Amino acid sequence: MHNGAFNTLEEVMEFYNHGGGAGMGLDIENQTLSSEPLGLTTQEKADIIVFMESLTDVSEFATY
């Protein structure tokens, strides 16, 4: 994520699937995520990760 808290997309998906910081019992200032767990299955999380990875531009013209 933007602050480097997670090293993998799998970790990010678990964070969101548990309802973000509030859903995990953390007091996160200014969190706007719902604290309700998403309830995604292992397959649904994997499908989302595959989709996100497909969005990467690997062309020689990509700017970062």
d(CA 17, CA 10): 10
Report how far apart, in Å, the C-alpha atoms of 6 and of each of 13, 25, 38, 64 are: 10, 17, 19, 20
Q: Is the pTM of this model over 0.75?
A: no
Angle between helices 9-17 and 42-54 (to 10 degrees): 130
Query: Average pLDDT over the chain, rounded to whole?
Result: 84
d(CA 59, CA 29): 38
Give me the pLDDT at residue 61, please.
Answer: 66
Query: Concatenated DSSP letters for 29-60?
Result: TT--S-SS-----HHHHHHHHHHHHHT---ST
